[in-house]
Amino acid sequence: MTLDLFGNDDARHDSPQTDELGPGAFVLRGFAQPQLTTLQADIDAVIAQAPLRHWLTPGGKRMSVAMTNCGEVGWISDRMGYRYGAHDPLSRQPWPSMPASFEVLAQHAAEAAGYRDFRPDACLINRYALDARLTLHQDRDERELGAPIVSVSLGLPAIFLWGGLQRSDRTRRVRLAPGDVVVWGGPSRLAYHGIASVEGSFDAQAVRYNLTFRQAR
Ligand code: MD6
Ligand code: FE
């Protein structure tokens, strides 16, 4: 389905394919495709400064997804809970600054989905090996729940789970390919979601990356 996200016919014909997941939640198919090479180089540069690591959940389990951050604040998990912090607990340094390529893409994607003035201050970088999963959860550690989240997929495809506002609501399985961008906010901002599986490839080294941009503080 192609939506009229811009309110005029020209934009509708120019816009790429868009799937509506729920009210205020969209998959912009291939939106980041032209930027994939630049984005990957910038991911590698961030990781060189703030290495990927497996956080512990508050319950003490090692997360299967490896994570790091860039921007003014980063998402952290340990025995003390989930939170945002301005420093990398490993190096005690500020998180690397957000690459311009990230910020521009996130703002454009938010605008394409109807969210103006998105100013992300946090970018979580997730790396999924073939056996990594992210169980059903809500993103609710951000102070500004009025702002949307922008999520960019790179590398191997994955099956994204999209649920409702209750954990027990039934979930839909959505395949996310490299370059797909999910934008969600408004009435869907607290919807449950997760990653069920990553699709394998012949390249044993291959992984999936995901960037999620938030207005955290
Ligand atoms: C992922 N994404 O795609 C995990 N959260 O790897 C998320 O948990 C997520 O894609 C909030 C909004 C969009 C997302
Ligand atoms: Fe999430």
pLDDT in tens, the chain (217 residues): 445 454 444 443 346 699 999 999 999 999 999 999 999 999 999 999 999 999 999 999 999 999 999 999 999 999 999 999 999 999 999 999 999 999 999 999 999 999 999 999 999 999 999 999 999 999 999 998 999 999 999 999 999 999 999 999 999 999 999 999 999 999 999 999 999 999 998 888 899 999 999 999 9
The strands making up 172-176's β-sheet, listed across from edge to edge, are: 134-137, 193-198, 158-162, 172-176
Ligand 1 atom index nearest CA of 184: 12
Coil, helix or strand at residue 106? helix
Residue 15, pLDDT score: 60
Which residue CA neighbors atom 1 of ligand 1 most closely?
210
Compute the distance between CA of residue 77 and CA of residue 46 in angstroms, rounded to an integer.
19
Is residue 113 within 8 Å of 183, Cβ to Cβ?
yes
User: Which residues lie near ion ligand 2 (Cβ < 5 Å)?
Assistant: 139
Residue 100, pLDDT score: 98
Which residue CA neighbors atom 6 of ligand 1 most closely?
210
Q: Does residue 214's CB lie within 6 angstroms of at least one atom of ligand 1?
A: no
Residue 5, pLDDT score: 53
Residue 12, pLDDT score: 38
- The CA-atom distances, in angstroms, between 92 and each of 42, 62, 147 are 22, 21, 28
Q: Does residue 207's CB lie within 6 angstroms of at least one atom of ligand 1?
A: no
Provide the pairing of β-strand 18-22 with 25-28. antiparallel
CA of 182, nearest ligand number: 1
